[in-house]
């Protein structure tokens, strides 16, 4: 009985398997037929190993053979690879049955550089990237390496603005710093023998000796004193709140023969000066811009001022010598309807308000002051506020030097009557007494 049933079970299994196989062939034969009749895109790239997408669908890495899609609008092929620009192309139509259309994507490496545009309110802040050489805002750094950079802005009378910023490849990154006015400050009195030396506090030009510098926040500050023909002085000083810190220095004649100096004047004054692409300061009336520690050899000097043509010249600096440069700038054939206001105070560090808006701290050069009448105010703690009006014409550079007057403090003791008043009272009493007689 058992031997007779075994062949029946075997035949049943065989019949089941045959039915399944026929079903599979029946189901997938149309699809296989479609693939046999399809066309293909042969996608390659230089370099290889790039991801290939049709629409949003991933099709593999190059080189890859991609079945065509019957799309009325054509086929969009996208090839992507890290550190390379995305390659994209729209292919009109599709390959015919059995046709292979070669697609070759030449990938362009992403630029290892980007562009960083830095501006500030108010403008004229000293900006550094990764603690490098300083520039003056607004400033554009071109061909800056991609990645994260430390950007620092300094402006006398304002809190430092320090931020890490990411610079992507091949793109323009913009940074605008809204500077915050410092609260609580002291003063620094700097004197030198001889006088007339330039003083820089934390890298910001703060006047010439002998000078008082106000509006300095409490704490340690780096002070650099320079004068052509003399050794530079660099010192850290501690400024206390609402106190005056004194710094007195006897300048030593330069003995090094390895470096030289450059003294720059311009007509008109107020020109921004760049040496070998680095911002070095601005020229002023009666105060040439002195640059010390310049290596011997040829250097490029670039001067720029609104409503005048830029000037570029090459100078030769000799070791141990002072090279004077006087540049007359030519008016621009297309002047703008603005001028420039240069404001200096004694002491420096006064807040500058033009038409009620805070624009900087003295000494400062205020750009883009449109022609016409303007009111400016100079405000410094413990000094009388100073205000005045100016009337600028297009392209005018106006420099104003102001000595601020200390605020009179009431004396705690009863003041003695002035001698002339006492004498007048005695004479009057004598006359009255004589008439009575």
167-202 pLDDT tens trace = 988 789 999 999 887 766 788 889 999 998 989 888
Task: Between 151 and 213, name the one with better pLDDT.
Answer: 151
Q: Is this model's pTM higher than 0.85 or not?
A: no
Let me know whether 82 and 164 are in one domain. no
Tell me, yes or no, whether 425 lies in a domain: yes
The number of folded domains in the chain is 4
Tell me, yes or no, whether 25 lies in a domain: no
Tell me, yes or no, whether 397 lies in a domain: yes
Let me know whether 248 and 285 are in one domain. yes
Lowest mean per-residue pLDDT among 81-85, 92-96, 220-224, 346-350: 92-96
CA dist., res. 112 & res. 92, Å (int): 34
Residue range 391-433, pLDDT digits in tens:
887 777 788 888 888 887 655 444 444 555 555 555 555 555 5
Let me know whether 354 and 258 are in one domain. no
Strongest mean pLDDT among 3-7, 156-160, 170-174: 170-174
At 159 the pLDDT is 79
Domain range for 288: 218-328
CATH number at residue 150: 2.60.40.1120
- Sheet (strand 297-304) strand order: 278-282, 272-275, 297-304, 311-317
- DSSP for 161-205? EEEEEEE-TTSEEEEEEE--B--S-EEEEEEEES---EEEETTEE
Residue 423: left (phi > 0), alpha (psi -120 to 50), or beta? alpha
What is the band of 9 on the pLDDT scale with cuts at 50, 70, 90? low
Distances (CA, A) of 276 to 139, 165, 283, 290, 325: 15, 26, 17, 15, 15
**Domain end call among 128, 161, 178:** 178
Q: Are 153 and 120 in contact (CB under 8 A)?
A: yes
- Count Cβ atoms below 10 Å from residue 110 Cβ, excluding itself: 18
At 186 the pLDDT is 83
CATH number at residue 299: 2.60.40.10
CA dist., res. 365 & res. 223, Å (int): 21
For the chain, counts of helices (H) and of strands (E): 2, 35
At 36 the pLDDT is 53
Let me know whether 174 and 268 are in one domain. no
Percent of the chain with pLDDT over 70: 81
User: In which residue are the tokens 């570029």 written?
Assistant: 312
CA dist., res. 308 & res. 394, Å (int): 11
Let me know whether 365 and 415 are in one domain. yes
At 316 the pLDDT is 94
CA dist., res. 321 & res. 259, Å (int): 8
Let me know whether 323 and 228 are in one domain. yes
Let me know whether 297 and 263 are in one domain. yes
- Count Cβ atoms below 10 Å from residue 346 Cβ, excluding itself: 16
Distances (CA, A) of 237 to 167, 189, 244, 368: 35, 11, 11, 35
Per the prediction, the chain carries an average pLDDT of 80
Tell me, yes or no, whether 198 lies in a domain: no
Residue range 245-273, pLDDT digits in tens:
999 999 998 876 678 999 999 998 888 89
Let me know whether 158 and 66 are in one domain. no
Which residues are paired to 22 by β-bridges? none
Lowest mean per-residue pLDDT among 221-230, 331-340, 352-361: 331-340
Strongest mean pLDDT among 24-33, 128-137, 405-414: 128-137
CA dist., res. 71 & res. 75, Å (int): 7
- Sheet (strand 364-370) strand order: 364-370, 338-346, 397-403
- Count Cβ atoms below 10 Å from residue 251 Cβ, excluding itself: 20
CA dist., res. 174 & res. 115, Å (int): 8
Tell me, yes or no, whether 11 lies in a domain: no
Let me know whether 171 and 231 are in one domain. no
Let me know whether 340 and 314 are in one domain. no
Alpha-carbon dihedral 25, 30, 31, 33, rounded to 10 degrees: 100
Let me know whether 407 and 422 are in one domain. yes
Q: Are 89 and 54 in contact (CB under 8 A)?
A: no
**Domain end call among 328, 348, 379:** 328
- Characterize 392-428 residue by residue with b for buried, 16 or more Cβ atoms within 10 angstroms of its Cβ, and e for exposed: beebbbbbeeeebeeeeeeeeeeeeeeeeeeeeeeee
Task: Between 212 and 436, name the one with better pLDDT.
Answer: 212
**Domain end call among 79, 106, 133:** 106
- Give φ, ψ of 33 to 5 degrees: -65, -40
- Give φ, ψ of 169 to 5 degrees: -70, 140
Residue range 349-404, pLDDT digits in tens:
888 888 888 877 788 778 767 778 889 999 888 889 999 998 887 777 788 888 88
Let me know whether 226 and 289 are in one domain. yes
Tell me, yes or no, whether 191 lies in a domain: no
At 74 the pLDDT is 64
Tell me, yes or no, whether 32 lies in a domain: no
Residues with Cβ < 8 Å from 94, sequence gap 6 or more? 39, 68, 69, 70, 71, 74, 75
CATH number at residue 82: 2.60.40
CA angle 196, 385, 184 (to 5 degrees): 80
Q: Which helix (H) or strand (E) holds 224?
A: strand 219-226
Tell me, yes or no, whether 212 lies in a domain: no
Sign, Cα dihedral of 71, 73, 74, 75: negative
Task: Between 284 and 68, name the one with better pLDDT.
Answer: 284
């Amino acid at each position: 009985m058992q031997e007779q049933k075994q062949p029946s079970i075997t035949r049943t299994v065989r019949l089941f398997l045959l039915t399944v196989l026929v079903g599979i062939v029946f189901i997938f034969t149309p699809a296989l037929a479609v693939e046999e009749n399809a066309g293909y895109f042969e996608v390659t790239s230089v370099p290889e190993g790039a991801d290939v997408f049709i629409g949003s669908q991933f099709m593999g890495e190059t080189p890859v053979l991609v079945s065509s899609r019957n799309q009325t609008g054509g086929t969009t092929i996208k090839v992507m690879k890290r550190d390379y620009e995305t390659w994209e192309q729209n292919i009109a139509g599709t390959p015919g049955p059995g046709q292979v259309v070669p697609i070759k994507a030449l990938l362009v490496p992403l630029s290892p550089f980007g562009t960083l545009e830095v501006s500030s309110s108010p403008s004229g802040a000293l900006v550094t990237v990764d603690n490098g050489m300083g520039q003056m805002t607004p400033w554009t750094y071109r061909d800056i390496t991609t990645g994260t950079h430390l950007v620092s802005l300094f402006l006398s009378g304002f809190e430092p603005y320090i931020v890490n910023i990411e610079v992507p490849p091949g793109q323009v990154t913009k940074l605008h710093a809204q500077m915050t006015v410092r609260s609580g400050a002291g003063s620094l009195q700097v004197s030198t023998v001889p006088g007339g030396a330039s003083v820089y506090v934390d890298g910001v030009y703060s006047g010439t000796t002998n000078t008082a510098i106000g509006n300095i926040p409490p704490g340690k500050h780096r002070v650099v004193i320079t004068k052509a023909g003399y050794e530079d002085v660099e010192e850290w000083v501690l400024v206390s709140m609402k106190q005056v810190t004194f710094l007195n220095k006897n300048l030593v004649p330069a003995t090094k023969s390895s470096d030289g100096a450059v003294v720059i004047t311009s007509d008109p004054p107020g020109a921004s000066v760049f040496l070998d692409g680095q911002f070095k300061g601005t020229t002023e009336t009666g105060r040439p811009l002195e640059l010390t520690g310049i290596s011997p050899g040829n250097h490029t000097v670039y001067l720029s001022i609104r409503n005048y043509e830029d000037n570029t010249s090459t100078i030769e600096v000799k070791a141990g010598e002072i090279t004077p440069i006087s540049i007359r700038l030519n008016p621009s054939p297309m002047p703008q309807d603005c001028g420039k206001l240069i404001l200096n105070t004694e002491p420096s560090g006064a807040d500058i308000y033009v038409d009620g808006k805070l624009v900087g701290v003295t000494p400062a050069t205020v750009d883009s002051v449109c022609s016409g009448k303007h009111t400016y105010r100079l405000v410094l703690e413990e000094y009388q506020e100073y205000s005045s009006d100016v009337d600028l014409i297009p392209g005018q550079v106006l420099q104003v030097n102001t000595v601020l007057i200390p605020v009179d403090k009431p004396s705690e003791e009863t003041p003695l009557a002035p001698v002339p008043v006492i004498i007048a009272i005695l004479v009057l009493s004598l006359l009255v007494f004589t008439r009575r007689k």
